[in-house]
Amino acid sequence: MAALKIKKGSTSHSAYNLRPDFSDVEERHTLAVVVDNEPGVLARVVGLFSGRGYNIESLTVAEVDHTGHQSRITIVTTGTPQVIEQIKAQLGRIVPVHDVHDLTVEGPSVERELGLFKVAGEGEKRVEAMRMAEIFRANVVDTTLDSFVFEITGAPEKIDAFAELMRPLGLQEVARTGVAALSRGKL
């Protein structure tokens, strides 16, 4: 065999920098996935996202039909339109998945999230936190002499905004549920 005239010891033959690039603009989509509530079903869905490198911004899951044992998983994800299409098709392939709804494209929908905020403070800060909570229609669900736990529901952006306001007022801990979403109007 004729030897090839590739330079020996040259690094030009082992460069690691190529990646086809067909990115469009990333979009944020809210998907509602109706599944059989059987052991491991959440692992299948989450494993799909991690295994194929898709993003999860938030994920909520609960059984919504106790007689039919069906759960609804609401996933907020981001990706280019091609990736979003792939995610939906891949979800559809999972055997216990019954339905995949893309609430972002299937017409208007409502999105709600619940957040719990622990805010500690005294004096003026405490009063200010309380005032802000009222404006945001947050409820006080626990109180001590130097702390509150507020409960707030709303679109994720509203909860983000509330968190920003609470930060300088003694925000200590936050728990958020992730988004639950339904389409508007009749089915």
Per CB under 8 A, residues contacting another protein are: 1-10, 12-20, 22, 36, 39-40, 43-44, 47, 51, 82, 85-86, 89-90, 92-96, 98
Nearer to another protein, 15 or 135 (CB): 15
- Cα separation of 134 and 126, whole Å? 13
Nearer to another protein, 47 or 168 (CB): 47
Look at residues 114, 88, 110, 83 and name the one whose alpha carbon lies nearest to residue 99.
Answer: 88
Q: How big is the chain by its Cα radius of gyration, in Å?
A: 24
* 119, 148 contact by CB (below 8 A): yes
Q: What is the smallest separation between the CB atom of 29 and another protein, expressed in angstroms?
A: 16
Nearer to another protein, 48 or 163 (CB): 48
Nearer to another protein, 39 or 185 (CB): 39
Pairing of strands 109-120, 171-176: antiparallel
Q: What is the smallest separation between the CB atom of 38 and another protein, expressed in angstroms?
A: 9
